[in-house]
Amino acid sequence: MKRRQFVGGLAAAAGVAACAKQENDCSADGATAQQTYQWSCVTSWPPRFPGLGMAPENLATRVEAASSGRLRIKVYGAGELVPAFEVFDAVSRGTVEMGHDASYYHKGKVDAAQFFTAIPFGMTNLELNAWLYYGGGMDLWRELYVPFDLVPIATGNTGVQMGGWFNKEINSVDDLKGLKMRIPGLGGEVLRRAGGTPVTLPGSEIFTALQTGAIDATEWVGPYNDTSFGLHKAARYYYYPGWQEPGPGLETIVNKDAWNSLPPDLQEIVSTTCQALTTDVAAEYTHGNAMSLQQLQEDPNVEIRPFPPEVLVLLRSITQEVVDELMADDPASRKIGRAYFDYLDKVSANSRISELAYFQTREF
């Protein structure tokens, strides 16, 4: 009888302990669900600049709404917390949790990152996003950033850009010689080998440099952003197409420890919002460029011109040399470059009989 009472007591005690543990677990889950996070996001763009600067602002607004305020992100424009080209380092070190910029700004630090923004004469917006989301590109991107304690997420694309603003006519390849031009990434190296001098400047300094003659030419984005900076008031000749950036992608980078601190649902909210903004930014630029181009076409002080064919042929030839050397010298660039160009070959075949064929037909 005493033994039965003892066993029954053990069972009752175990039941009480199990209930207590269950309550503690539930409390822990509830605490995690209610925990709030305050993040800082630094960018390479002027504060609240149309398109580029508003993308991280919209990201912050949407994430806060979707998370019911559990994740709040304070956005800082270029120079407000860190300089425009130090976003990568600030997030990598953990000085801030998040950043928004373009990966080709990391040239010289992680050269292979350039494949995820723009390769001259490379993928367009739709093609790049197809590679990133369905062709394995994002996996390669994440792998590349592991040594820097960063988690990259594609967030935005401006579409095909313009060739840039020039204070001198470009009628032949000889006109590229001695040309001082603001142009980042691989495009800058291509210009250098064509005889020009590439200059790296943050967006906020471009107008003054062009107006004062510190540079002869600049590429920035396209009509939408270029008119916002007033570049049409500092140069006369506006050339196309944007051979240097056919579909430049933008990135959100998150410090690895900050990312791992988030519960899975908040990680999913950030990732899904970034992907939604990739579509939204492209739509904004298609609309904004169309409206701003009409304004420029009506401006008697602006001449919109195509680059001479011989200039584009030269630039494309040099691009091949530059990319080949990059892939030969850097193992990461070789691995990512092979995947990039293999996908480009495949997707180009479809683009040729879809978008290209349609555009050519629509022009009749």
Residue boundaries of the structural domains of the chain: 36-158+247-286, 161-244+301-329
The answer to whether 32 and 263 are in contact (CB under 8 A) is: yes
Q: Would you tell me how many other CB atoms lie within 10 Å of the CB of residue 348?
A: 14
Tell me the torsion sign for CA atoms 219, 222, 225, 228: positive
Q: Would you tell me how many other CB atoms lie within 10 Å of the CB of residue 106?
A: 25
- How far is the first Cα of the chain from the last one, in angstroms, to the nearest whole number? 100
Residues 6+ apart with CB under 8 A from 93: none
Residues in the chain, how many? 364
DSSP string, 290-349: HHHHHHHHT-TT-EEEEPPHHHHHHHHHHHHHHHHHHHHH-HHHHHHHHHHHHHHHHHHH
The answer to whether 220 and 232 are in contact (CB under 8 A) is: no
Provide the pLDDT for residue 33.
Answer: 61
Q: Which two tokens stand for residue 234?
A: 């500092």
Q: Going residue by residue through the chain, which has 364 residues, state the pLDDT in tens, using 9 for 90 and above.
A: 344 443 344 344 444 344 444 444 444 455 556 899 999 999 999 999 999 999 999 999 999 999 999 999 999 999 999 999 999 999 999 999 999 999 999 999 999 999 999 999 999 999 999 999 999 999 999 999 999 999 999 999 999 999 999 999 999 999 999 999 999 999 999 999 999 999 999 999 999 999 999 999 999 999 999 999 999 999 999 999 999 999 999 999 999 999 999 999 999 999 999 999 999 999 999 999 999 999 999 999 999 999 999 999 999 999 999 999 999 999 999 999 999 999 999 999 999 999 999 999 998 7
Of the candidate CATH numbers 2.60.40.10, 3.40.50.11890, 3.40.190.10, 3.10.180.10, the domain formed by 161-244+301-329 belongs to 3.40.190.10
Q: Give me the architecture of the 36-158+247-286 domain, per CATH.
A: 3-Layer(aba) Sandwich (3.40)
Provide the pLDDT for residue 31.
Answer: 52
Pick from 216, 242, 232: which is nearest to 163 by CA? 242
Task: Confirm whether 36-158+247-286 and 161-244+301-329 share one CATH topology.
Answer: yes
